[in-house]
Amino acid sequence: MPAKGMPTTLTQGSGTKGGIGESTLRPDGALKVTGEFAYSSDLWHEDMLWGQILRSTVAHAEIASIDASEALAVPGVYAVMTYDDLPTGVRNYGLEIRDTPVLAHGKVRHHGEPVAIVAADHPETARRAAARIRVDYRELPVVTDEASALAPDAALVHENRDDHHIARVPHPNIVHRQPVVRGDVASARERADVIVEGEYTFGMQDQAFLGPESGLAVPEEDGGVHLYVATQWLHSDLRQIAPVLGLPEDRVRMTLAGVGGAFGGREDLSMQIHACLLALRTGKPVKIVYNRFESFFGHVHRHPAKLHYEHGATADGRLTHVKARIVLDGGAYASSSPAVVGNAASLGVGPYAVDAVDVEAVALYTNNPPCGAMRGFGAVQACFAYEAQMDRLAARLGLDPVEFRQLNAMEQGTLMPTGQPVDSPAPVAELLRRVKARPMPPERQWESGEGADVRRLPGGLSNTTHGEGVVRGVGYAVGIKNVGFSEGFDDYSTARVRLEVAGGEPVAAVHTAMAEVGQGGVTVHAQIARTELGVARVTVHPADTRVGSAGSTSASRQTYVTGGAVRNACELVREKVLELGRRKLGPSHPAWAGAGLLLEGGKVVTDGGEVLADLVDVLGDEAVEAEEEWRHRPTEPFDPRTGQGDGHVQYSFAAHRAVVEVDTELGLVKVVELACAQDVGKALNPLSVTGQIQGGTAQGLGMAVMEEIVVDPRTAKVRNPSFTDYLVPTILDTPAIPVDVLELADDHAPYGLRGVGEAPTLSSTPAVLAAIRDATGLELSRTPVRPEHLTTGTG
Amino acid sequence: MRIDFTVNGRPREADDVWEGESLLYVLRERLGLPGSKNACEQGECGSCTVRLDGVPVCSCLVAAGQVQGREVVTVEGLADLAGQRSRGAVARPGEDTGLSPLQQAFLDAGAVQCGFCTPGLLVAADEMLERHPDPSDADIREALSGNLCRCTGYEKIMDAVRLAAARRAERG
Chain B nearest-CA distance from A648, in A, is 26
B122 and B62 within one domain: no
B94 and B140 within one domain: yes
A53: domain CATH number? Answer: 3.90.1170.50
Structure confidence at residue B91 (pLDDT)? 63
B81 and B57 within one domain: no
Nearest to B76 among A34, A42, A259 (CB): A34
Q: Is the ipTM of this complex over 0.95?
A: yes
Beta carbons of B107 and A26 less than 8 Å apart: yes
B147 and B108 within one domain: yes
Structure confidence at residue B92 (pLDDT)? 66
Confirm if B92 and B111 have CB atoms less than 8 A apart: no
A614: domain CATH number? Answer: 3.30.365.10
Chain A nearest-CA distance from B114, in A, is 3
Q: Looking at chain A from residue 210 to 269, which residues have their Cβ under 8 Å from any Cβ of chain B?
A: 210-212, 258-263
Q: Is B27 on the interface with A (CB under 8 A)?
A: no
Q: Is A37 on the interface with B (CB under 8 A)?
A: yes
Instruction: Note whether residue A512 is domain-resident.
Output: yes
Nearest to A260 among B98, B106, B114 (CB): B114
B167 and B82 within one domain: yes
Taking the C-alpha atoms of residue A534 and residue A541, their distance in angstroms, rounded to an integer, is 19
What one-character DSSP code corresponds to residue B29?
A: I
Beta carbons of B150 and A728 less than 8 Å apart: yes
Q: Tell me which chain B residue has its CA closest to the CA of residue A37.
A: B35
Cβ-based contacts of A518 with chain B (< 8 Å): 113-116, 151
B120 and B156 within one domain: yes
State pLDDT tens for residues A729-753: 999 999 999 999 999 999 999 999 9
Q: Is A209 on the interface with B (CB under 8 A)?
A: yes
Cβ-based contacts of B38 with chain A (< 8 Å): 41, 212, 289, 291
The domain boundary, picked from B38, B57, B74, lies at: B74
**Residue B53: what are its φ and ψ, rounded to 5°?**
50, 40
For chain A, the maximum distance between any two Cα atoms, rounded to a whole number of angstroms, is 85
Q: Looking at chain B from residue 48 to 67, which residues have their Cβ under 8 Å from any Cβ of chain A?
A: none
Q: Testing the interface with A: which of B61, B114, B142, B147 to mutate, by most A Cβ within 10 A?
A: B114
B88 and B12 within one domain: no
Q: Tell me which chain A residue has its CA closest to the CA of residue B116.
A: A260
Structure confidence at residue B89 (pLDDT)? 61
Beta-carbon contacts of A208 under 8 Å, excluding residues fewer than 6 positions away, are A263, A707, A723, A726, A728, B150
User: Alpha carbon A406 to chain centroid distance?
Assistant: 28
Cβ-based contacts of A261 with chain B (< 8 Å): 113-114, 116, 150-151
Cβ-based contacts of B147 with chain A (< 8 Å): 730-731
State pLDDT tens for residues A79-117: 999 999 999 999 999 999 999 999 999 999 999 999 999
Beta carbons of A30 and B99 less than 8 Å apart: yes
B148: domain CATH number? Answer: 1.10.150.120
The domain boundary, picked from B74, B95, B126, lies at: B74
B44 and B95 within one domain: no
B109 and B44 within one domain: no
Instruction: Note whether residue A90 is domain-resident.
Output: yes
Q: Is A447 on the interface with B (CB under 8 A)?
A: no
State pLDDT tens for residues B87-134: 756 566 666 778 999 999 999 999 999 999 999 999 999 999 999 999
The domain boundary, picked from A583, A598, A631, lies at: A631
Domain count along chain A:
2
Residue (of A676, A590, A646, A748) closest to A4 by Cα position? A748
Instruction: Answer yes or no: is pLDDT of B86 > 60.
Output: yes
Residue type at position A25:
L
Structure confidence at residue A7 (pLDDT)? 37
The domain boundary, picked from B27, B57, B74, lies at: B74
Structure confidence at residue A8 (pLDDT)? 39
Q: What is the mean pLDDT of each run of 10 residues along chain A (795 residues)?
A: 39 86 97 98 97 98 98 98 98 98 97 98 97 98 97 94 96 98 98 98 98 98 98 98 98 98 98 98 98 98 98 98 98 98 98 98 98 98 98 98 98 98 98 98 91 94 94 98 98 98 97 98 98 97 98 98 98 97 94 92 94 97 97 98 98 98 97 98 98 98 98 98 98 98 98 98 98 97 97 84
Structure confidence at residue B96 (pLDDT)? 72
Q: Is B159 on the interface with A (CB under 8 A)?
A: no
B167 and B83 within one domain: yes
B92 and B145 within one domain: yes
Q: Is B160 on the interface with A (CB under 8 A)?
A: no
Domain housing B45: 3-74
Q: Is A23 on the interface with B (CB under 8 A)?
A: yes
First and final C-alpha spacing in chain B:
47
Structure confidence at residue B90 (pLDDT)? 57
Kindly report the three-state secondary structure assignment for every residue of A754-795: CCCCCHHHHHHHHHHHHHHHHHHCCCCCEECCCHHHHHHCCC
Instruction: Note whether residue A711 is domain-resident.
Output: no
Residue (of A482, A171, A516) closest to A346 by Cα position? A482
B89 and B37 within one domain: no
Nearest to A687 among B44, B78, B110 (CB): B110
Residue predicted with more confidence, B6 or A461 = B6
Domain count along chain B:
2
Average pLDDT, chain B: 95
Q: Testing the interface with B: which of A25, A731, A737 to mutate, by most B Cβ within 10 A?
A: A731
Cβ-based contacts of B142 with chain A (< 8 Å): 455, 461, 732
Residue A440 CB neighbours (<10 A) = 12
Domain housing A274: 40-140+212-259+266-298
Kindly report the three-state secondary structure assignment for every residue of A46-96: CCCEEEEEEECCCCCEEEEEEECHHHHCCCCEEEEECHHHCCCCCCEECCC
Handedness of CA A500, A501, A507, A511 (dihedral sign): negative
Q: Looking at chain A from residue 716 to 735, which residues have their Cβ under 8 Å from any Cβ of chain B?
A: 722-724, 728, 730-732, 734
Q: Where are the alpha helices (DSSP H) in B77-154?
A: 78-85, 101-109, 118-131, 137-143
Q: Testing the interface with A: which of B36, B96, B113 to mutate, by most A Cβ within 10 A?
A: B113
The domain boundary, picked from A631, A666, A691, lies at: A631
Nearest to B44 among A28, A39, A724 (CB): A724
pTM tops 0.95: yes
Q: Is B144 on the interface with A (CB under 8 A)?
A: yes
Structure confidence at residue B88 (pLDDT)? 59
B61: domain CATH number? Answer: 3.10.20.30
Structure confidence at residue B93 (pLDDT)? 67
Instruction: Note whether residue A186 is domain-resident.
Output: no
Q: Tell me which chain B residue has its CA closest to the CA of residue A453.
A: B138
Q: Tell me which chain A residue has its CA closest to the CA of residue B117.
A: A210
Q: Tell me which chain A residue has its CA closest to the CA of residue B150.
A: A209
Beta carbons of B140 and A731 less than 8 Å apart: yes
Chain A nearest-CA distance from B50, in A, is 12
Taking the C-alpha atoms of residue A739 and residue A691, their distance in angstroms, rounded to an integer, is 9
**Residue B3: what are its φ and ψ, rounded to 5°?**
-125, 130
